[in-house]
Amino acid sequence: MAKSSFEYVKKFESSDICLPFSWIVVRLDGQGFHKFSEKHGFRKPNDSRALALARRAAERVMSRNPDIVLAYGQSDEFSFVFRRSTEAFNRRARSVCLS
């Protein structure tokens, strides 16, 4: 019986499981941040309202996921560090990126 094209392609896929007991760092980019800043009248480069908003958003993300041990921001990006023992998203990189 011939293999379907899906079965053929599947053998070339690499595992997207993050190594066990390694830190997982997820970086979120603030897409459209320039327009958002203009719309809300944020002063460049570091409007205190924008910084407070970003901090509160990061705190909210951390409060909803106890496996995140650290969050830090740079420009319009925020990074979140998951503890080494996390089993969040079954440690699948693709799942972390899409959630």
Flag whether 3 is in a domain.
no
Q: What does the pLDDT look like over 5-29, one tens digit per residue?
A: 667 666 666 678 888 999 999 998 8
Answer yes or no: is 69 within a domain: yes
Q: Return d(Cα 85, Cα 82) in angstroms, integer.
A: 8
pLDDT, tens digit, for every residue of 57-78? Answer: 999 999 999 999 999 998 888 9
Q: Residue 98 half-sphere exposure, CB side, CA atoms within 13 Å?
A: 7
Its domain, for residue 73, covers 20-98
Q: Is residue 6 part of a domain?
A: no
Q: Is residue 10 part of a domain?
A: no
Q: Would strands 68-74 and 24-29 be described as parallel, antiparallel, or unpaired?
A: unpaired
Determine, yes or no, domain membership for 12. Answer: no
Dihedral-angle region of residue 21 (phi above 0 means left; psi in -120 to 50 means alpha; beta otherwise): left
Give me the number of domains the chain comprises.
Answer: 1
Percentage of the chain modeled with pLDDT above 70 = 85
Residue 77 lies in a domain: yes
